Chains A and B, each alone.
Chain A
Amino acid sequence: MEKVLIAFLIGGLICLFGQLLMDLTPVSISPAHILVGFVTGGSILSALGIYGPLVEVAGAGATVPLSGFGHALAQGSIAAVEKQGLLGAFAGGLEATAVGIAAAVIFGYTMAVIFDPKG
């Protein structure tokens, strides 16, 4: 239960940060910019060894925001380089995120076919 509360707090804070980024910067930031920014930002923080400890503490609070997707990409890439060398740099990121990407494609496609836009 305590873990759920921590996930709520950290996950909430990450989104709060994103919202402030959208509202307080003079340039207009679209959702696409936010998503790309959080994935790349998450992987860089992960490679620098900063995001990993956050995941340890916050659990889903750090893995559910899209920066967690970036973390998975970076850690997958690093782990695969350790195992297979150079080839791992190309394989690791996608291997580690394959479930999520495949789920996004198949569920996304299916729902878009089944449903029509409202209003």
Chain B
Amino acid sequence: MPYKFEELSAQDYDQKVQKIKPRPRVIKNAIWAFVVGGLFSALGQIIFFGYVGLGLTERDAVAATAATLIFLGALLTGLGLYDKIGKHAGAGSIIPITGFANAIVAPAMEYKREGYIFGVGAKMFSIAGPVLAYGITVSVLIGLVYYLFL
């Protein structure tokens, strides 16, 4: 019986904390995410114009821009700067494609001492792997649906 009582009070406590705590953080986080995510996108647009200026087709310029941002994200992660941005920016540093590069480099670097196969080689996909698994699966399914019904 007292066990049940304790569980309930913990829930109550949780609710109280939820009510009081997050408000100011939610707004601050949202602003950070908006500004940093926006800046990465704006940077992408500028790089895109650069590649179009060099004579790439729009399609190729989009791909080249993605590759460039991935390079930047990977480099900034290696230098330890991306984590500093991410501390404030949250989703603003996760969702842009630079965040995908970060999700590859950070665990790969962290587990390097486990070797180049099971450390770097395996851990670089600890987050990128699920992204590719679900992304590729959905794209094949979309293609199949399109083939069968449209």
Contacts of A5 in B (CB 8 A): 42
Residue in B closest to A38 when the chains form the complex, CB atoms:
B95
Say whether A36 contacts B105, CB under 8 Å: no
A73 to B49 alpha-carbon distance, docked (Å): 23
- A16-B37, A60-B41 are known contacts. Are A11 and B96 too (CB-CB below 8 A)? yes
Say whether B42 contacts A60, CB under 8 Å: yes
- A32-B103, A112-B124, A115-B78 are known contacts. Are A89 and B91 too (CB-CB below 8 A)? no
> In chain B between 106 and 140, which residues have their CB closer than 8 angstroms to a CB of chain A?
106, 108-110, 112, 116, 120-121, 124, 127-128, 130-132, 134-136, 138-140
- Chain B 24-60 near chain A by CB (<8 Å), digits 1 or 0: 0110011011111111111011111100000000000
- A11-B96, A32-B127, A39-B131 are known contacts. Are A60 and B30 too (CB-CB below 8 A)? no
Say whether B39 contacts A8, CB under 8 Å: yes
Contacts of A7 in B (CB 8 A): 38, 41-42, 44-45
Q: Is B146 an interface residue (CB 8 A)?
A: yes
Number of residues of chain B lying within 8 A (CB) of chain A: 78
Q: A117 is contacted by which of B95, B110, B140 (Cβ under 8 Å)? A: B110
Q: Is B142 an interface residue (CB 8 A)?
A: yes
Say whether A15 contacts B142, CB under 8 Å: no
Q: Is B2 an interface residue (CB 8 A)?
A: no
Q: How far is the CB of A9 from chain B (nearest CB, A)?
A: 7
Q: List A residues at the B interface (Cβ < 8 Å).
A: 3-5, 7-16, 18-24, 26, 31-32, 34-36, 38-40, 43-44, 47, 58-61, 63-70, 72-74, 76-78, 80-81, 85-86, 88-90, 92-94, 97, 99-101, 103-105, 107-119
